[in-house]
Chain A
Amino acid sequence: MNSEIPTRQSSFLLFIRKHNYLLLVLPALLLYTVFIIYPFLNSIRYSFFEWSGVGPMTYIGLGNYHTIFFGALQEFFVRALKHNLFAFVINFSLQTIFGLGLALALYAVTKGSNLYKTIFFLPNTLSTVIVGFLWNLLLNPQWGMVNRFFEMVGLDFLSRPWLGDPKLALPTILAVSAWRGLGFPILVYLAALLAIPEEYVEAAKIDGAKGFQIIHHIYIPLILPTTFTLMTLSFIWTFNMFDLIFALQGASAGPNYATDVLGTLFYRITFGGMGSSATGMGLGAAIAVVIFSVLFPVSYLLNRISKKFEL
């Protein structure tokens, strides 16, 4: 017995000596466990209970998941998921088309490039609440600048209830989101373009390639990994989308759930929207687990694909 203890101790010390980096990782690991792993595991646990957030919890097995996929929440869940996918497609398309386009323009510009970069990135520095407040004013149906402008120039038919029409509300919010976030893909694409060795372009020019051919055969293939990274980020952002919709439309994500995404659905179910309705912490936790189950594998897959395109 006695002889074993020192041996174990020494083997532990040996292990620590060999892997001393673990000691350096430990503080971060502890914080990560307390603030990420533990709440996440707890969410999984809550998802198996019927619980309003206060009071006793009743174990219902997969009951909450049944409610989401086959029960009363199915319609809400499917609609929110479709809105998230729509948001992803629009967000990714806008950041690729305008982000890359403006990055190429900035790449070509020799004078005032820094000023343009600052202008494009400026909305990104604003908080969501400010963006929400600002666009609420601009899009106000009565005294907002947007409708006023259209009326002034004689385009009355374009004076619309931008945030009140079920067909227009989500595209309007996505446009606001693009206005706010476009600076980021511009800068990332610009960095990727600047990293392309000048020799490649010169070699192409010697071979007779011109303008669009250089973009098509040199720039685009070389910035493909960047595009995949942006696609992954766009997917994560749009599937976690909540703040801008909450700032502009509130937890009800109106009109008639036209802007409802998984984030707002989660919030409304968990905290009861305006507080005048019942709350379902267990059901909300199940929605959160479903969001994670979609986000994690897709993000992982996109990440793996992007690595394949790296040179």
Chain B
Amino acid sequence: MNRKQLTFMVVLCLVLLVANSALARTQTVSLWNWRGETEFWAAVEKEIRKEHPEIRIDYRTFIPTEYDSILMVGMQSGEGPDIITLRGGPGVAKFAEPGMVERLDKILDFSLFPEGALTQASMNAGVYGVPFALQTYQIYYNKEIYAKYGLKEPATWDQLIENCRVLQANGVTPFYFQGREGWGLSLVQTTIGASILGAEWITGLVKGKNAFTDPKFIDSLYKVLELKPFMQKNFEAASYSDMQMAFPMEKAAMTFGGMWDVKSFDQIAPEKEWGMFLVPPVKKTDRPYAYAYMDGAYGLNSASKNREAALKVLEFTTSAKFGQMFVEFNQEISPIAGIQAPAELTELQQGLKFVEHHALPDIYGVRSVLTFGVPDIHTLLGAGMQAILSGEKTPKQLAEELQTGIASWYKPFQK
């Protein structure tokens, strides 16, 4: 070996040594999620690395309908991620109960979170996840179409029906409705139910004082049927993604949608303007309510091999900085107190107002306590709404089915 070769070998060894020690210092935190947020988490990693340069985030996203089964298998086999994205309510309890996720309220500072947001990430007074998004479901309308026919945001249910009539008389489909996926219909019913039933009645329902078979609830089911003549042709076969495409393409003047839909509406038709309003109550004097729920929370896998690094990532998710990034990147509502939406995101600003001033204190559909057992309300309501809309069942029959189904396992209904 000549001198040149020897020098090359020494340099190569040194480079490998340095690279190896750098790699050894790197701590990779794995995170699984059902939400397509690759860019967002790359930005989060960049932010965290300013203080903790050794941390890397291995972010993996899965198809929402397959996420839960993949996570369950991963956790059972000990191959789960360090940080788990848990669905709110029963999703948190499912992993907290057997101790598969760590209790976090004694390790992390949750002072920036309102109590309401922490409830759906808690079990037995302990917080097991960092809530990341509050969702609301409401009616979106195309501002241009509304202006063209001199329509205003309705203050009562009758005004909403009147708006539909005006639109229909002018050859405009009033509502683009997705009828194919039960979960979407369940969200529509609870959105209508929020304002038609009111906060007091819903709290009474959750406590077992009221029943689904009460005429008031049956009336809220009839309200969905009242909208049927104003839905597009063959709405029964339209999927949620059809709705996400058709509404911004002006196939209808209004649609029911979640806070998460704004981003896709804007991507499809950036030049259009959307307005949104809560389902109007029957009487003008009644208050409209928003069905707001916590979408999910980040939990710490009890079997994590990178516990310290994972905690640093979770610590960041409890900060105002993370909340601000979440709002700006995802255009959704962060549960962290005091986070403001940028001025250009008007829908988001309105969504924040809905949560602040109109959120129901108790909920009865998705993410509620009525989804903790089998059969759950979200599934029963979704399929039941399809049955009502196709004429297979009457609202009364569905109400009886809901009451019997939930009472089979939910204690307050068994009194």
Contact = CB atoms under 8 A, between A and B. Distances in A.
Q: Do A and B bind each other?
A: yes
B234 A269 contact: no
Contacts of B111: none
Contacts of B312: none
Interface residues of B, number: 54
A189 interface: no
Given A160-B234, A164-B238, A280-B374, A274 B367 contact: no
A68 interface: no
Contact of A276 (B99, B100, B235, B367): B367
A59 to B, nearest CB: 16
A147 B234 contact: yes
B233 A54 contact: no
Interface string A269-304: 111111111111001000000000000000000000
A255 B183 contact: no
A278 B374 contact: yes
B400 interface: no
Interface residue SS majority, chain A: loop
Contacts of A251: 65
Nearest to A76: B375
Contacts of A63: none
Contact of B386 (A160, A254, A276, A278): A254
B390 A256 contact: yes
B97 A55 contact: yes
Contact of B236 (A72, A164, A249): A164
Nearest to B70: A271
A72 B407 CA distance: 11
B242 interface: yes
Contacts of B97: 55
B378 A277 contact: yes
Given A54-B98, A56-B98, A165-B236, A252 B382 contact: yes
Interface of B: 34, 64-65, 67-69, 72, 75-76, 87, 90-91, 94-95, 97-100, 179-183, 232-239, 242, 246, 251, 366-367, 371-376, 378-379, 382-384, 386-387, 390, 392-393, 405, 408
22 contacts: A53-B72, A54-B94, A55-B94, A55-B99, A56-B98, A141-B233, A142-B242, A142-B251, A161-B179, A161-B234, A161-B235, A162-B237, A164-B235, A164-B236, A254-B382, A275-B34, A276-B87, A276-B91, A276-B371, A278-B372, A279-B94, A280-B374
